[in-house]
Amino acid sequence: MTAISLDAVTVSLDGNTVVEGVTLDVTEGEWLTLIGPNGAGKSTLLRAIAGLVSFDGSIELDGEHVDRLGRRDVARRLAFVPQSPLLPPDMPVREYVLLGRTPHIGPFGSESRKDVEAARRALERLELERFADRRLHTLSGGEQQRVVLARALAQEAPLLLLDEPTSALDIGRQQQALELVAELRTQAPLTVLSAMHELTLALQYADRLALLSQGTLVATGAPADIATESLLAEHYGADVQVIANGDGPVAVVPRRRRERG
């Protein structure tokens, strides 16, 4: 089954074409990561799928046109975690996670017992129960990242869109965050589409990579086929070495050009 289907998607922001003619299918249950240099259009493509910017072409979720789905319908199918979420500093963690239930609550309604239970489960799955009454500004960057993920999980959408989920984290927290997503996928059916800068982590965690460059989709395939020295040299202008072990490529390492003086 195709979870997300993009056909010739083009996005223009203030007259500049940022994403051009992207055609891509994301299969149900897979983890696909968008890679590409700065300004390649990764975030914009995610935002188009989440219905946050207008686009030309067609985007389907589970075979249904997003234009024909209402906002709340889209939000029930798809949870979006932006690169730098706005966290109201004085809001308690529990209330923040409960806001993830918004698409399941009528416009003027309030949370039912079911919603409270869903938020509690999300907190439990991310081991955040002891933080439930803490205010958001008292948490560390890694804890905040987990809280944002908990809010997305409380949404109980089968599709998770992650925009640079590791950008503000140290290497340990990066690993924890991605391990967490990997673990969530083992607990419940979850399709993940992420955009990432960090190539080593991208190729270690994703089932497939899609390389965007200057708004167009250049290549899609298994990490071993996309994270190649020649493709990365061509599109990132980077001189890198791809290190592999028995399972395939595990790291992308930059090569220093000039000898140490």
Partner 1 sequence: MRRAIRLPLACGVVFLAGAGLAGLLVGPVDLGVGEIARSALAHVPFLHVHSPLSGADAAILWQLRAPRVVLGLLVGGMLALAGASYQGVFRNPLADPYLLGIAAGAGLGATLAIVYGSGVVESYDLVPLAAFAGGAVGVVAAYLLGRSASGGRSTAALILAGVTVTSFLTAAQTFVQQQHSQSLQEVYAWILGHLDTAGWHDVALVAPYIAVSAGVILLHRRVLDVLSLGDEEAASLGVNVRRTRFVVVVFATVGTAAAVAISGLIGFVGIIVPHAVRLVLGPSYRLILPLSLLCGAGFLVFADVIARTVLSPAELPIGVVTAFFGAPFFAIVLRTSRSFA
Which burial class, exposed, middle or buried, applies to 51 when counting CB atoms under 10 A from its CB (0-12, 13-18, 19+)?
buried
205 within 8 A of 182, measured Cβ to Cβ: yes
- Burial code (b: 16+ CB inside 10 Å, e: under 16) for 73-96 equals ebbbbbbbbbeebebeeeebbbbb
CA-based diameter of the chain, in Å? 67
Task: Name which of 72 and 125 has its Cβ closer to partner 1.
Answer: 72
Binding-site member from 51, 215, 223, 249 for partner 1 (CB under 8 A)? 51
Q: Which stretch binds partner 1 (CB under 8 A): 24-32, 81-89, 186-194, 198-206?
A: 81-89
State yes or no: residue 57 binds partner 1 (CB under 8 A): no
Which burial class, exposed, middle or buried, applies to 9 when counting CB atoms under 10 A from its CB (0-12, 13-18, 19+)?
buried
Please work out the total of residues on this chain that contact partner 1, with binding judged by CB under 8 A. 36
State yes or no: residue 15 binds partner 1 (CB under 8 A): no
Binding-site member from 22, 50, 132, 162 for partner 1 (CB under 8 A)? 50
- What are the angstrom distances between the C-alpha of 210 and each of 25, 218, 246? 10, 8, 23
Q: Is the Cα torsion angle 80, 81, 82, 86 positive or negative in sign?
A: positive
> Which residue stretches of 37-108 are H helix?
42-49, 71-77, 93-98
Binding-site member from 79, 178, 181, 190 for partner 1 (CB under 8 A)? 79
Binding-site member from 37, 92, 142, 158 for partner 1 (CB under 8 A)? 92
State yes or no: residue 190 binds partner 1 (CB under 8 A): no
Closest distance between partner 1 and the C-beta of residue 110, in Å? 6
- Which residue matches tokens 């996005």? 11
State yes or no: residue 85 binds partner 1 (CB under 8 A): yes
Binding-site member from 38, 110, 187, 230 for partner 1 (CB under 8 A)? 110
Closest distance between partner 1 and the C-beta of residue 128, in Å? 17
CA of residue 41 relative to chain centroid, distance:
14
Binding-site member from 5, 33, 155, 194 for partner 1 (CB under 8 A)? 155
State yes or no: residue 240 binds partner 1 (CB under 8 A): no
Closest distance between partner 1 and the C-beta of residue 9, in Å? 18
* Residue ranges binding partner 1 (CB under 8 A): 47, 50-52, 70-76, 78-80, 82, 85-86, 88-92, 95, 98-100, 102-103, 105, 107-111, 137, 155
